[in-house]
C-alpha cells in the first residue's frame, strides 16, 4: 500500500514539474547565447500595428517626364534632304536652313511629356490604384495594413506593422505590373497587357547544372509563364510566323527577334520556330542563380507574378518617405487591461484554494499550465494580435477556469468524459464562430478566430492529460491513505 501511495505521489510530482517547466518556457522562454547577449528562441508575440510600432510609407505621383514618341520622322528627314540639295549653291539660304534644322533638332530633343498626364489623375483612377494595391498586399500576405489616398495630391499613405514586411511594400506600389512584347529593332509594341490573362512564376534547375552535374555546382532559373487570352493566342500565332530565323542571300541565317518587357525593362529576347504551336510563353527572368541567392530571387519573381496578376496601375508612383509611429496610449491600456485580467485570475485562484483546499490548489496549478500552453500556441501561430484578440485570450482562460470548476464539483459517479462532452456541446457555437473567423479577410476577425481556435482546441486534450490525472491521483492517494 505504501509503495502504491509513493508511486502515485511521484506521478503527481512529475505532472506538476512538467507544468512548471512548460510555464517557465512560456513565461520566461528558452535563452541561448548570441555573441555578447542572450536571445530567446521562442517566437515573440505578433502585435497588430495599433498595439505596436507602425511604419507609414508615403508614395507620390511620379511627376517626372519622358521623351515624347517620335512621329513622322521619315517625312521630316526626306524634306530636310530635299531642301539641302536645292539650296546647296546658296550660302545664305543654306545657313538659314542649317539654323532651322538645328532649332528643329533642339526642339525635338527638348520635347518631353509627363509620365502621368493630367487627364489620368482622377479620383476614379486613385480608387483603382488603391484597389489594386490592396490586392497586391493581400496576395503578399501583408494583411494588417491600411491604405489612405489623398485625392487632392494623389499621395498614398500605407500603414503597416513595424517589421520586415514593411521593407517590401514599395515593391508592390512603384511597379505598374505591365507586360509587353516589342520588336527588338523598331521597338514597335506587338502585344499589350490586355492580351495576357495571367502569369505564373516557376523555378527550375538550370540547364548548365543538368549538363555539368555537380562539378559546376547546382544553379537555378526563375521565370514566368505568360498565359494569353484568345486574342493573345491569335496574335502569338501571327508573331511565330514572323519572328523567326530568316535566310539572307549569303546563306547565313539571323533571327528576327522580339523583346519581352516588364514595366518597360527588357528581361528576355527571343524568336520562334515557325513549325511550332504556341499557346503561352515561358520567360526566364533570372538565370544561373546560386544556392545562397535563391531566397532573394524567389521573392523577386513572386513580386513580378503578384503585380502582373493584380492588374495594371493606371498611375505611376514613386516612393517618397517612411515614418514610424508608436501609440503609447494603447500600450498603457494594454498594461492596465493585463493587470486587471491577472487580478481576476488571482482572485479566482484564491477562491479555488479556499473552497476546494488541496484539490483547488491542483486546479490552480493546472490552470497556470493551461495558460502557459495556450500562450505558446498563440506565439507560434504568428498571427498579429489585435485588442479584441487579447480580450479573446482572456475569455479562453475563463472558459478553461469554468471547465476546471466543473471537474472540481463533479461527484465520483460522474466521469470525466461526461463532463467533457456536456461542456464541449456548450462551447461548440464559440468553436464554430472561431473556425469561420479564421478564414475572414478582416484582420480583426481573423486574429480573434485564430486565438479562439487554438485555445479551444487545446482545452480538452490538456485537461485530459493534466487536470484529470492530477485529480484522479489525489483521489487515489486519499483512498490509499484511508481518507474519505
Per-residue pLDDT of 21-73, as tens digits, reads 999 999 988 888 777 778 888 888 888 887 878 889 999 999 988 887 665 44
pTM, to two decimals: 0.72
- Evaluate whether 58 touches 156 at the Cβ level (below 8 Å): yes
pLDDT band (50, 70, 90) for residue 383: confident
At residue 247, the pLDDT reads: 64
Cα dihedral across residues 224, 136, 161, 394: positive or negative: negative
The dotted CATH code for 178-310 is 3.30.1360
Question: Residue 427 pLDDT > 70, yes or no?
Answer: yes
At residue 191, the pLDDT reads: 92
Q: How far apart are CA 380 and CA 42, in angstroms?
A: 8
At residue 262, the pLDDT reads: 92
pLDDT tens string 180-227: 999 999 999 999 999 999 999 999 987 665 555 554 578 899 999 999
Q: Which residue has the cell 509563364?
A: 225
At residue 74, the pLDDT reads: 47
- Evaluate whether 358 touches 9 at the Cβ level (below 8 Å): no
At residue 337, the pLDDT reads: 83
pLDDT tens string 302-327: 999 999 999 999 999 999 888 888 77
Question: Residue 458 pLDDT > 90, yes or no?
Answer: yes
**Residues near 480 by Cβ (< 8 Å), separated by ≥ 6?**
1, 4, 5, 8
Question: Residue 432 pLDDT > 80, yes or no?
Answer: yes
Instruction: Out of 246-255, 322-331, 444-453, pick the least confident.
Output: 246-255
Question: Residue 132 pLDDT > 60, yes or no?
Answer: yes
Question: Residue 84 pLDDT > 50, yes or no?
Answer: no
At residue 81, the pLDDT reads: 45
Question: Residue 244 pLDDT > 50, yes or no?
Answer: yes
**Span 419-434, mean pLDDT?**
91
**Span 132-152, mean pLDDT?**
90
Domains of the chain: which residue ranges? 2-44+327-480, 69-110, 178-310
pLDDT band (50, 70, 90) for residue 98: low
Question: Residue 435 pLDDT > 90, yes or no?
Answer: yes
Question: Residue 443 pLDDT > 50, yes or no?
Answer: yes
- DSSP annotation of 15: H
Instruction: Out of 63-67, 106-110, 477-481, pick the least confident.
Output: 106-110
> For residues 338 and 262, which has the higher predicted lDDT (pLDDT)?
262
At residue 89, the pLDDT reads: 47
pLDDT band (50, 70, 90) for residue 332: confident
Report the share of the chain in percent with pLDDT over 70.
86
Mean pLDDT for all residues in the chain = 84
At residue 365, the pLDDT reads: 94
Question: Residue 267 pLDDT > 70, yes or no?
Answer: yes
DSSP 85-119: HHTTT-HHHHHHHHHHHHHHHHHHHH-EEESS-GG
- DSSP annotation of 28: T
| Domain 178-310 in the same topology as domain 2-44+327-480 | no
pLDDT band (50, 70, 90) for residue 83: very low
Q: Which CATH architecture has domain 2-44+327-480?
A: Up-down Bundle (1.20)
- Evaluate whether 53 touches 99 at the Cβ level (below 8 Å): no
At residue 41, the pLDDT reads: 87
Amino acid at each position: 500500500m505504501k509503495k502504491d501511495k509513493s508511486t502515485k505521489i511521484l506521478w503527481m510530482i512529475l505532472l506538476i514539474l512538467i507544468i512548471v517547466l512548460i510555464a517557465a518556457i512560456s513565461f520566461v522562454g528558452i535563452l541561448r547565447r548570441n555573441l555578447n547577449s542572450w536571445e530567446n528562441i521562442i517566437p515573440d508575440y505578433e502585435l497588430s500595428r495599433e498595439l505596436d510600432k507602425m511604419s507609414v510609407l508615403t508614395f507620390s505621383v511620379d511627376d517626372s517626364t519622358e521623351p515624347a514618341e517620335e512621329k513622322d520622322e521619315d517625312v521630316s528627314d526626306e524634306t530636310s534632304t530635299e531642301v539641302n540639295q536645292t539650296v546647296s549653291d546658296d550660302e545664305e539660304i543654306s545657313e538659314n536652313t542649317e539654323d532651322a534644322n538645328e532649332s528643329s533638332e533642339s526642339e525635338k530633343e527638348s520635347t518631353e511629356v509627363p509620365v502621368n498626364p493630367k487627364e489620368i489623375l482622377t479620383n476614379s483612377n486613385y480608387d483603382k490604384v488603391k484597389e489594386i494595391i490592396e490586392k497586391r498586399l493581400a496576395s503578399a500576405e501583408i494583411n494588417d495594413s491600411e491604405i489612405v489616398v489623398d485625392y487632392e495630391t494623389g499621395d498614398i499613405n500605407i500603414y503597416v506593422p513595424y517589421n520586415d514586411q514593411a521593407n517590401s511594400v514599395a515593391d508592390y506600389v512603384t511597379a505598374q505590373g505591365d507586360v509587353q512584347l516589342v520588336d527588338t529593332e523598331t521597338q514597335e509594341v506587338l502585344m499589350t497587357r490586355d492580351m495576357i490573362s495571367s502569369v505564373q512564376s516557376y523555378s527550375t534547375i538550370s540547364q548548365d547544372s543538368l549538363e555539368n552535374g555537380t562539378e559546376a555546382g547546382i544553379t537555378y532559373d526563375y521565370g514566368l509563364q505568360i498565359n494569353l487570352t484568345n486574342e493573345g493566342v491569335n496574335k502569338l500565332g501571327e508573331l511565330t510566323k514572323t519572328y523567326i530565323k530568316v535566310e539572307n542571300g549569303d546563306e547565313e541565317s539571323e533571327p528576327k527577334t522580339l523583346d519581352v518587357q516588364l514595366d518597360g525593362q527588357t528581361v528576355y529576347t527571343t524568336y520562334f520556330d515557325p513549325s511550332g504551336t504556341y499557346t503561352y510563353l515561358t520567360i526566364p527572368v533570372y538565370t544561373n542563380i546560386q544556392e545562397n541567392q535563391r531566397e532573394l530571387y524567389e521573392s523577386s519573381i513572386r513580386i513580378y507574378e503578384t503585380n502582373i496578376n493584380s492588374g495594371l496601375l493606371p498611375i505611376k508612383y514613386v516612393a517618397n518617405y517612411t515614418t514610424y509611429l508608436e501609440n503609447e496610449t494603447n500600450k498603457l491600456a494594454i498594461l492596465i487591461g493585463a493587470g486587471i485580467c491577472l487580478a481576476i485570475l488571482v482572485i479566482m485562484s484564491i477562491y479555488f484554494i479556499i473552497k476546494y483546499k488541496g484539490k483547488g490548489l491542483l486546479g490552480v496549478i493546472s490552470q497556470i499550465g493551461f495558460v502557459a500552453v495556450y500562450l505558446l500556441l498563440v506565439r507560434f501561430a504568428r498571427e498579429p494580435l489585435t485588442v479584441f484578440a487579447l480580450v479573446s485570450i482572456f475569455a479562453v482562460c475563463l472558459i478553461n477556469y469554468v471547465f476546471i470548476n466543473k471537474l472540481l464539483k463533479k461527484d465520483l459517479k460522474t466521469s470525466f468524459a461526461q463532463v467533457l462532452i456536456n461542456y464541449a456541446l456548450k462551447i461548440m457555437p464559440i468553436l464554430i464562430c472561431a473556425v469561420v473567423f479564421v478564414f475572414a479577410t478582416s484582420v480583426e476577425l481573423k486574429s480573434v478566430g485564430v486565438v479562439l481556435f487554438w485555445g479551444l482546441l487545446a482545452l480538452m486534450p490538456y485537461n485530459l492529460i493534466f487536470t484529470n490525472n492530477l485529480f484522479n491521483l489525489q483521489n487515489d492517494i486519499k483512498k490509499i491513505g484511508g481518507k474519505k
